[in-house]
């Protein structure tokens, strides 16, 4: 376990805490640490619409990579395009393609009822990933 760690980041407090946890795991890991941000696109009729600015996504990843480097790690960082509503699927796919057996991500800590109604990236990652999933509140 911990042969490769994928840390999902965005610009939230839970994501920042996940980055700290990912750095701690990275120090004992046997493989690389990969930081990713899912760049979502809403698909409409005949067009795709970005949910955020690409520059913001790149900045989030760059900041996370730099923070881990200050901890003595040498992570890679990447912005991954995905369709809105398919973030969990894209995270699981990214981890598998990059040989990561662990995914670290933050959660807002919604109740089970709230997450059922709203959908939960965290729950979907846990259900579909066959490796370890570290969830940080």
3-state secondary structure of 78: strand
The answer to whether the beta carbons of residues 21 and 103 sit under 8 Å apart is no
Give how far the C-alpha of residue 105 lies from the chain's centroid of Cα atoms, to the nearest Å.
Answer: 5
Confidence of residue 47 (pLDDT cuts 50, 70, 90): confident
pTM: 0.90
3-state secondary structure of 42: strand
3-class DSSP assignment, residue 43:
strand
Q: Which of 99, 64, 68, 92 is nearest to 78 (CA)?
A: 64
The angle subtended at Cα 23 by Cα 57 and Cα 20, nearest 5°, is 70
Rounded CA-CA distance 74/70 in Å is 9
Write down the pLDDT at residue 42.
87
Q: What value does the mean pLDDT take over residues 80-100?
A: 96
pLDDT of residue 117: 43
Q: Where are the alpha helices (DSSP H) in 38-132?
A: 54-70, 87-97, 112-118, 121-128
| Nearest one of 123, 125, 86, 70 to 102, comparing CA atoms | 125
What does the domain layout of the chain look like in residue ranges? 5-136
Domain 5-136 is of which CATH architecture? 3-Layer(aba) Sandwich (3.40)
Please state the rounded mean pLDDT for residues 95-121: 77
Q: Quick check: helix, strand or coil at residue 4?
A: coil
**Tens digits of per-residue pLDDT, 11-45?**
999 999 999 999 999 999 989 999 999 999 887 77
State mean pLDDT over 57-80. Answer: 98
Mean pLDDT of 78-85: 94
Identify the pLDDT of residue 113: 55
Q: With contact defined as beta carbons under 8 Å apart, do 91 and 125 qualify?
A: yes
């Amino acid at each position: 376990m911990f042969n490769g760690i994928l840390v999902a980041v965005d610009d939230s407090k839970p994501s920042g805490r996940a980055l700290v946890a990912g750095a701690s795991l990275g120090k004992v890991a046997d493989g690389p640490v990969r930081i990713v941000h899912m760049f979502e696109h809403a698909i409409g009729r005949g067009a795709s619409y970005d949910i955020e600015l690409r520059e913001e996504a790149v900045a989030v990843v760059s900041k996370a990579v730099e923070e881990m480097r200050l901890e003595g790690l040498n992570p890679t960082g990447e912005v991954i395009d995905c369709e809105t509503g398919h973030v969990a699927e894209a995270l699981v796919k990214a981890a598998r393609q990059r040989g990561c057996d662990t995914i670290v991500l933050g959660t807002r800590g919604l109740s089970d009822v709230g997450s059922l109604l709203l959908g939960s990236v965290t729950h979907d990652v846990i259900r579909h990933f066959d490796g370890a999933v570290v969830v940080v509140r």
